[in-house]
Amino acid sequence: MKNANRWMGVVLSVVILTGATCALAQDWTQWRGAGRDAKVAGFTAPAAWPKELAQKWKAEVGKGDATPALVGDKLYVFARQGDDEVTLCLDAATGKELWKDKYAATAVTGAAARHPGPRSSPTVADGKVITLGVGGVLSCLDAATGKVAWRNEEFKAVPMFFVAMSPIVVDGLCIAHLGGKGAGAIVAFDLASGAQKWKWTGDGPAYGSPVLMTADGTKQIVQQAEKSIVGIAVADGKLLWQVAAPTQGRVFNSATPIVDGQTVIYTGQGGGTKAVKVEKQGDAFAAKELWSNAELGTGFNTPVLKDGFLYGFSDKGSLFCIDAKTGKTCWTDATKRGQGNFAAVLDAGACLFALPSNSELVVFKPGDKEFTELAKYKVSETPTYATPVIAGKRVFVRDQDAVILWTIE
């Protein structure tokens, strides 16, 4: 009996741990998910796609385009309510508010005024929630209680369309690209205390977000800035390599770099899509161009890399597929979706999801031969600029004023 009880205890422990692992696997902890690569973990496509999704709840949260973060049973939402920027912690099952933090926000003016709410997505790491407001206010909150750990308001200058970059946490450092046009800095803060650890000044911020890459054993932050794409050492903030990525006229760098081993793929409106290989040469790093596709670039979205192919939403308003090894165009979908080239594309294993600003969630089949649509769902009555968060059968959609939970049944 003792051995049987011991065996039962082991089985129960395995079941509990397995369940915990599955829950954690579905977490969407930051911009573009846990790996900043737009890959959805643990999704199983239905045998037959339903005609409609089932709405479970809708919570009015305030203005904003920031993608929520999902950790366990909590959803962290960054929004604007009146004159305040607020961080909300919601119960993911019901949409009910658990806690709220707020501070007086900068007024959004000029051409960006149509989007007064924050664009930067929360980052959840080591029990903390990091937010970056439209006016450059960087906040660190306790994820359980919402209590402010620290708040930095040092960097008052902002880009023309205000702040859109989402901070990243690496090795106990909160790293963000702060400042304004032509006068920005990539800065690392101690996550626990908010103390500045290092700062690199060399190019102003654009509207994409940094990603992590390890090249020849060196951890580095890869960021597409105002006029270039750079690799910055995580350890000390030193510039490791830099490639020119200039823009012209009313075109801005708005995409997050894509890392595939030591290959970096970057794209932009009017600039096409390019790939470089980052390698150490002697004591320094160099980025060598591998290919360039001048036909297809993105507007305000980042393609997803799946099985050697890039799937994105072009600056001409169509979904596309590019061979990530050669840069050659595989196909483009002739359907024009949404407006302004705002879209999100996610890899969910057997299928891909795309959500352009027209609020029609498109499910399509991966493949380099042709575009094959599997399903399409209207998920909001207002435009959608945030990335959907997909966890199991749940689809969390952030529109201009609310968060909606849909389920695939």
Per-residue pLDDT tens digits for 52-107? 999 999 999 999 999 999 999 999 999 999 999 999 999 999 999 999 999 999 99
Please state the rounded mean pLDDT for residues 294-299: 89
Q: What is the pLDDT of residues 303-325, one digit of tens each?
A: 999 999 999 998 888 899 999 99
The per-residue pLDDT for 177 is 97
pLDDT band at 334 (very low <50, low <70, confident <90, very high): confident
Average pLDDT over residues 12-18: 37
Q: What is the pLDDT of residues 215-261, one digit of tens each?
A: 999 999 999 999 999 999 999 999 999 999 988 766 789 999 999 99
Percent of all residues in the chain with a pLDDT value above 90, rounded to a whole number: 84
60-to-65, 342, 397 alpha-carbon distances in Å: 13, 22, 12
User: Which domains does the chain show, CATH number per domain?
Assistant: 29-407 (2.130.10.10)
What local confidence, expressed as pLDDT, does residue 377 receive? 98
Taking 70 as the threshold, does the pLDDT of residue 263 lie above it?
A: yes
339 pLDDT band (50/70/90 cuts)? low
Is the pLDDT score of 341 beyond 90? no
pLDDT band at 5 (very low <50, low <70, confident <90, very high): very low
3-state secondary structure the chain: CHHHHHHHHHHHHHHHHHHHHHHHHCCECCCCCCCCCCECCCCCCCCCCCCCCEEEEEEECCECCCCCEEECCEEEEEEEECCEEEEEEEECCCCCEEEEEEEECCCCCHHHHHCCCCCCCCEEECCEEEEECCCCCEEEEECCCCCEEEEECCCCCCCCCCCCCCCEEECCEEEEEEEECCEEEEEEEECCCCCEEEEEECCCCCCCCCEEEEECCEEEEEEECCCEEEEEECCCCCEEEEEECCCCCCCCCCCCCEEECCEEEEEECCCEEEEEEEEEECCEEEEEEEEEECCCCECECCCEEECCEEEEEECCCCEEEEECCCCCEEEECCCCCCCCCEEEEEECCCCEEEEECCCEEEEEECCCCCCEEEEEEECCCCCCCCCCEEECCEEEEECCCEEEEEECC
pLDDT at 3 over 60: no
pLDDT at 270: 79
What was the pLDDT predicted at 317?
Answer: 85
pLDDT in tens, 92-144: 999 999 999 999 999 999 999 999 999 999 999 999 999 999 999 999 999 99
